[in-house]
Chains A and B, each alone.
Chain A
Amino acid sequence: MDAGMRLAAALALTAACAGLGWSAAQRQTRRVKALEALRRAVSRLEEDMLEKRLPLGEALAASGHALFVRAARAGDGQPPGEALRAAARALSARGGQLDSLTPADMAAIDRLAGGLGRGSAERQRLLLAETAEELAALSANAEKLAAERNRLYVSLGALGGLALAVMLV
């Protein structure tokens, strides 16, 4: 292999590793967006359920978020908690709308599923407020993490690629 080709291969390897780092960093950015969309949907749910007094099925369907819309569709004859958990499982699979969420994020959805549609307006108000608060905290944390890790992952990727290139070339 001549020197030019070696240089090109080293550059390609470095770029590929940097790309992998960038891709890993993007997962954090997608997580922030997913958490923020969920928080907005929970706020909308709170308004529809407790201000407009829509029945739960209608409020879930009107939320505009795939998680709740899917739960509303499955809701006939299935308790809303189970429908929500099933929807969360389906959407968090690889390639799904919620696949960037961490176990801590999924636990927040699980807690919401545990109490949604159970008991009085007071109980629902508390549950939805706590969920929105928890999602906001998770989102803020994820945003901070994303800012830190975006640079870190790309740099690590590039450095790793460079190191591999030096070893191989």
Chain B
Amino acid sequence: MDDEAAGVLALLPTLREGWPALRPGSLREIRLRAGAPVQLIGEDGEWLSESAVDAAWIGRAADALAAHSLYARDEELRQGYLSLADGSRAGVCGRLAAERGQIGRMTAIRSLCVRLARARRGCADRWMPWLYEAGRPLGVLVLSPPGLGKTTLLRDIARQFSTGTAWGRGVCVAVADERRELSGSGHLDLGPRTDVMEDCPKAGAVAMLVRAMAPDVIVTDELGQAAEAEALLEAARCGVKPAATAHARDLDAARGRRTLSRLLSAGLFERIIVLSGGVGRVGGIYDGRGKQLYGGEDEPWTQA
């Protein structure tokens, strides 16, 4: 088993039948639900445990994944996730207490979905020529439904912008990494010219990074809030190019989301990469006006 997966599985309470042998680097998600079997999802398919785990097991798993410090993770839990030390993220589901009509504390954890952070060095190689103009990086948006590898692709794009490629020299990159998924708390390579602001809400982090670090490119994951869009627009007014991801199945769906629509209309993104049809599979690359530049059937990077 690969180190990342083994590290996370070693944290979990023991499973009656033990963990299966997996192809190194193939495990993507671990899904744990009270009263249900453990589900491992990998590039080679899924594995379900024979025995179910109970609520106490899930509680112990959550304690271990939070480094026995759930008491200090209220804010993360309120947003439905836990950051793991290696940069992976566990989605959390259970019972939430409402406080004055707002989402309050999580009072019971019933399900966990651990998504393993993994650097796929070079997974953006094939797409980098599309992401430069006159030797300068372009604004890039990566779109896909959850779980197809947006963050992995964005991480490698950020690394290559920072390192430099045959199409452009290395530039200063700043990463607003609210959930530490991009940097993996420093475990994952983001290039030699990259500064990372961790744990800070994205909108605030973008503004701070533009002021403090004067980057050429600002990178952030999972755009969705109006404040984040406003921060990126302000950064663009300062001449900083954005590189970001967002949930959307295609360009039309992205245009249907108010925040993304605003950014797309403003011409913030000169290249839009859409992942579709499987993990790591680029279904299309578009320019800022929506003209398709690439729409071929590529091999997903997971097979590389």
Residues of A within 8 A of B (CB): 49-50, 53-57, 77, 79-80, 116-121, 123-125
**Contact present for A121 and B68 (CB under 8 Å):** no
**Contact present for A118 and B72 (CB under 8 Å):** no
Which residues of B lie under 8 Å from residue A120 when comparing CB positions? 70-71, 105-107
B74's closest neighbor in chain A, by CB? A121
**Contact present for A55 and B64 (CB under 8 Å):** no
**Contact present for A118 and B63 (CB under 8 Å):** yes
B:88-112 near A, CB below 8 Å: 105-107
CA distance A53 to B99 in the complex (A): 21
B:50-108 near A, CB below 8 Å: 59-60, 63-64, 67-72, 74, 105-107
**Is residue B10 contacting chain A, with contact meaning CB distance below 8 A?**
yes
CA distance A54 to B68 in the complex (A): 11
Which residues of A lie under 8 Å from residue B60 when comparing CB positions? 118
Assuming A79-B64, A118-B59, A119-B63, is B105 touching A55 (CB within 8 A)?
no
A46 to chain B, nearest CB (A): 10
Task: Count chain B residues whose beta carbon lies closer than 8 angstroms to a beta carbon of A.
Answer: 15
**Contact present for B70 and A55 (CB under 8 Å):** no
**Contact present for A117 and B107 (CB under 8 Å):** no
CA distance A125 to B63 in the complex (A): 16
Instruction: Please give 16 more A-B residue pairs, beta carbons under 8 A apart, in addition to A56-B67, A57-B67, A117-B68.
Output: A49-B69, A49-B72, A53-B72, A54-B72, A55-B69, A56-B68, A56-B69, A57-B68, A79-B68, A80-B68, A116-B68, A117-B63, A118-B59, A119-B59, A120-B107, A123-B71
Which of B59, B60, B67 counts the most chain A CB atoms within 10 A? Answer: B67
CA distance A46 to B127 in the complex (A): 51
Which of A50, A116, A119, A125 counts the most chain B CB atoms within 10 A? Answer: A119
Secondary structure type dominating chain B contacts: helix
- Sampled A-B contacts (29; CB under 8 Å): A49-B69, A49-B72, A50-B71, A53-B71, A54-B72, A55-B67, A55-B69, A55-B72, A56-B68, A56-B69, A57-B67, A57-B68, A57-B69, A77-B10, A116-B68, A117-B63, A118-B59, A118-B70, A119-B59, A119-B71, A120-B70, A120-B105, A120-B107, A121-B71, A121-B72, A121-B74, A123-B71, A124-B71, A125-B71
CA distance A54 to B72 in the complex (A): 7
B68's closest neighbor in chain A, by CB? A117
CA distance A153 to B63 in the complex (A): 48
Which of B59, B60, B68, B106 counts the most chain A CB atoms within 10 A? Answer: B68
CA distance A55 to B72 in the complex (A): 7
Partner of A117, one of B69, B74, B106: B69
Which of B10, B69, B71, B105 counts the most chain A CB atoms within 10 A? Answer: B71
Which residues of A lie under 8 Å from residue B10 when comparing CB positions? 77
CA distance A79 to B11 in the complex (A): 9
A119's closest neighbor in chain B, by CB? B70
Which residues of B lie under 8 Å from residue A80 when comparing CB positions? 68
CA distance A158 to B68 in the complex (A): 53
Which residues of B lie under 8 Å from residue A54 when comparing CB positions? 72
Query: Nearest 4 pairs between A and B by C-beta?
Result: A117-B68, A121-B71, A53-B72, A55-B69
CA distance A50 to B72 in the complex (A): 7
Which residues of A lie under 8 Å from residue B74 when comparing CB positions? 121
A81's closest neighbor in chain B, by CB? B68
CA distance A53 to B199 in the complex (A): 14
CA distance A163 to B133 in the complex (A): 104
Mark interface residues in B229-261 (1 if CB within 8 Å of A CB, else 0).
000000000000000000000000000000000
A125's closest neighbor in chain B, by CB? B71
Which residues of A lie under 8 Å from residue B68 when comparing CB positions? 56-57, 79-80, 116-118
A163 to chain B, nearest CB (A): 57
